[in-house]
Structure formats: structure tokens, C-alpha cells
Amino acid sequence: MTQTTEKIIYRRPEVLQERNFHFCPGCGHGIAHRILAEALEESGMAERAVGVSPVGCGVVTYFYIGIDWQEAPHGRAPAVATGIKRSRPDLLVLTYQGDGDLAAIGTGEFVHCANRGENITSIFINNGLYAMTAGQMAPTTPIGRRTSTTPKGRTIARDGYPLRVCEMLAPLDGTAYLERIALTDPKSVRQAKKGILKAFQYQMEGRGYTLIELLSPCPTHWRMKPVDAIKRIKEEVLPIFPTGVIKDVGK
């Protein structure tokens, strides 16, 4: 009996631009860009999509994903996205934000955007610090974690507790779909794309605000090898930020 093997060819989504990423080795942004591009293509919404990118490592997402983009001031992406969506409700509107941007500087914008039930989708990259500006502590930094502004580790007494964005948004009537996924293995990456696709679906159905939180490694500012960064997410981050669907109004 002859054994045959099927050759799997991974095709680059047309919306993903053919250029080298500038992200550090092991960074999760490259993975997030890939699945976002696949979701835009598979949803058939790439031609009607507008992305909003503020300050952060993902500010130049428009270099890599070939849809219309609008830049926003630091933390203000949800406000800009709201204006675009209200002007053109037929468009798919998304923000691409890190935790320093969305969960700190932009807290007022995303919370009230969610509470109003704006029909936009936020792709939220959570790597536990401000990666673009030298690795300062963010609201999502775990207790005890050393950063450039907490050289001896984050403490509860001085800095408070890590902010769980999905859980904070879940009680709001305006939120329709909230899911947290870790970019640690192929199964989780596939689930992340499914989550983005569902968020897009809910947005176009007019159900309200949707957010996909991606737990992402940052080997450079964590000062560790990429493999060890993935291990850190599994051992240290997941107990603080458990993965799964936090809210789904369709169930």
C-alpha cells in the first residue's frame, strides 16, 4: 500500500501587502496582522473596510494590510472610528490598538464607545506594557513584572491591579461580543481568526461594540527569547487573563 501525503500550501491573503515586517523577532503583531488580513478576505469585507490606527507598535499597520486607514491621536481611535461608522454605516470599521493605547491613554474613548454600543470592532493587542516607547508599565502589566518604570516590579500598593478589559466591558449593555485569545499556538491562532470573523459579523448586523483581545508576546521588552516569551504567557499571563468568550449576545 502506498502512503501519500497532502501538501498544504499557505497562500498569502491578497490584502496582506508583500513587504517585510519591521516587528521584533517573536512579536505577536505579525501573527495578528496575518489573521486580521485573512479575516478581512474571508469575510468579503476588505473592499468596504476602514481601519483606524493610533500610536503604538501597530501604528503602521497600514503598511501591511491593504485597506483604507485613518490615523488617530494616541488613544483616540474609538472616537475617530465612531465618526467614520456613523457617517458610513455600510463600512466595516475597526481599530487596532495596544494595551498602553487602549487601556490607559484611551480609557475614556473605548469605554464610552462600548457603552454607547457603537458598531465598530477593536483588535486589542495585550502584551502587558508600552512596547513602542521603551517598555513602561501599562494597566495590564502583571503584579511583580519588571518594566522600565517598575524596575523592582509592579506592586499592588503603588500601582494597583492589572486591568481586565473584557471583564470590565461585559456588564455594559452596548457590548455585543468580547473574546480573549492567546497567540501561543496554532489552535489558538485559528480561534483568534474565528473570533475576529464573528466580531465583524456582529458589527455588520448592528448588534453593538465588539472587541477581540489578543495576548501577545513581547520578547524584546520582556528580555527573553521568543520561546520563553510564549512560555511566560502560558504560565504567568493566562492565570491573570483567562482566555475564552467573555460575552456573546447571540447566545
Q: Where are the domains of the chain?
A: 29-248
DSSP label of 16: B
Using the predicted structure, report yes or no on whether residue 9 has a pLDDT greater than 80.
no
| pLDDT (tens digit per residue) in 111-140 | 999 999 999 999 999 999 998 888 899 999
For residue 173, pLDDT beyond 70: yes
Query: Half-sphere exposure (CA, 13 Å, Cβ side) for 166?
Result: 25
Residue 65: what residue type? I
8 A C-beta contact, residue 41 and residue 196: no
The pLDDT score that the predictor gives to residue 2 is 46
29-248: what CATH class?
Answer: alpha beta
Mean pLDDT for the chain overall: 93
Task: Judge contact between 95 and 52, C-beta under 8 A.
Answer: yes
Structure letter (DSSP) for residue 155 = -
pLDDT surpasses 60 at 1: no
CA quadruple 192, 180, 144, 110: dihedral sign:
positive
The Cα–Cα gap between 101 and 129 comes to: 10
Provide the CA 173 distance to its chain's centre, in angstroms.
22
Q: What is the pLDDT of residues 58-102, one digit of tens each?
A: 888 889 999 999 999 999 999 999 999 999 999 999 999 999 899
